[in-house]
Amino acid sequence: MVKTTLPLLAVCAALQACAQHQTVTPVVHRPPADIIKTAKPREWRTLDPNNTLVMTIKGMEVVLELAPRFAPLHAANIRTLFHEGYFNHSAVIRVHDNYVTQWGVPADESATGKETARSTGSAQSKLPMEFTIAANDLKLTPLRDADGWAAQSGFIDGFPVALDPAEDKAWLPHCYGMVGAGRDSAPDSSTGTSLYVVIGQSPRHLDRNITVVGRIIKGMEALSALPRGSGALGFYEKPSQYIPIPSASLLADLPANKRPQLEVMRTDSASFKELLESRRHATNPWFVRSPEYSNVCNISVPMRVVEHPKK
């Protein structure tokens, strides 16, 4: 347990008690594990079945939560694609070390077991780019520190957020586990038929250049531990190297007993706010020096598996 004395003003703001009581005690930062353990039931939320995707890759369950606040049209299109089965028997076609894993329906479908042309069904074939949204009305849980890539950052809806108040823009940063919609040269050429996830150091130079659609909640290792592709940009060179994705469903379309029972900590909860402060400090006695700093891409939003589904 590390005790840290904050400047008087910050402690007063946190305690809202300094006007009455002029005695300030040092702030004690609880370890993240303790904060997670004692979080109240109302500080956790279940996943919206219409906003959650479930894939199977190498026998592992991968759960992706969409971010409709930031990319409403892409989220709706991807929901349609999963609901109508477009991603069943799709494949991972690219794994670029320290960068991204990308999946979709390969041009050569010989490895997916499908031989008929793949239809995108009722999904839109053209979407606008959704790189940023208005920032100034967002009720973020803010980070105390800036990181160089953005003027401010924080969390909302369970997602990391970067923002520039001067430009009134907010966006989902390319942190580990964040999912985007692949595009060609034209900025508005993504539709959600090709998705990628960050598997290395956050490539924040991609921020505001492509539509980020969500985050992997569970099963990252099914995407991060795959063999790297030997082709340009990490693409697999032969269809036989593709990693099959035999099933890919909208959570709402799965029978109740097949749904992963997960809860995510609410990022507007008191426990998450305490976690953000705790992450700035080294609370484990193994550390000899506390960073007194944190970065939006170094903080994971807690997730837990619920043993007994709620009624």
CB of 129 to its own copies, least distance (A): 8
> Cβ closer to its own copies: 68 or 219?
219
Which one of 82-90, 103-111, 223-231, 257-265 is the stretch in contact with its own copies (CB under 8 A)?
223-231
Please identify which residue in 224, 247, 261, 269 interacts with its own copies, judged by CB under 8 A: 224
201 binds its own copies (CB under 8 A): yes
Among 92, 226, 248, 262, contact with its own copies (rule: CB under 8 A) = 226
Query: Does 97 contact its own copies by CB under 8 A?
Result: yes
DSSP characters for the chain? Answer: -EEEPPPHHHHHHHHS-TTT----PPEEEPPHHHHHHH--GGGEEEPPGGGEEEEEETTEEEEEEE-TTT-HHHHHHHHHHHHTTTTTTEEEEEE-TTSEEEEE--SSGGGTT--SPPP-TTS-S-------EE-TT---EE-SS--SSSSEEEEETTEEEEEEGGGTEEE----TTEEEE---SSTT---SSSEEEE-SS--GGGTTSS-EEEEEEE-THHHHSSPPP-SGGGB-SSGGG-EEE-EEEEGGGS-GGGS--EEEE-TTSHHHHHHHHHHTS--STT-SS------GGG-PPPEEE-SS---
**Among 121, 165, 200, 231, contact with its own copies (rule: CB under 8 A):** 200
Residue 41 lies near its own copies (rule: CB under 8 A)? no
Distance CA 72, CA 192 (A): 12
The reply to whether 211 sits near its own copies by the rule CB under 8 A is no
- CB closer to its own copies out of 124 and 298: 298
For residue 241, state whether it binds its own copies (rule: CB under 8 A).
Answer: no
Q: Which of 177, 182, 192, 302 binds its own copies (CB under 8 A)?
A: 177
C-alpha torsion angle, residues 2, 8, 10, 13 (rounded to 10): 120
Could you say which residues in the range 267-306 bind its own copies, by CB under 8 A?
282, 285-289, 291, 293-295, 297-298, 300
- Residue 15 interacts with its own copies (CB under 8 A)? no
CB of 226 to its own copies, least distance (A): 6
Task: Supply the minimum distance, in Å, between the C-beta of residue 201 and its own copies.
Answer: 5
Residue of 14, 225, 233, 270 interacting with its own copies (CB under 8 A): 225
- Could you say whether residue 128 binds its own copies (CB under 8 A)? no
CA pair distance 12, 22, nearest whole angstrom: 9
Residue selected from 74, 208, 215, 266 as contacting its own copies according to rule CB under 8 A: 208
Contacting positions for its own copies (CB under 8 A): 95, 97-98, 131, 145-149, 175-177, 185, 187, 199-205, 207-209, 220-221, 224-228, 282, 285-289, 291, 293-295, 297-298, 300
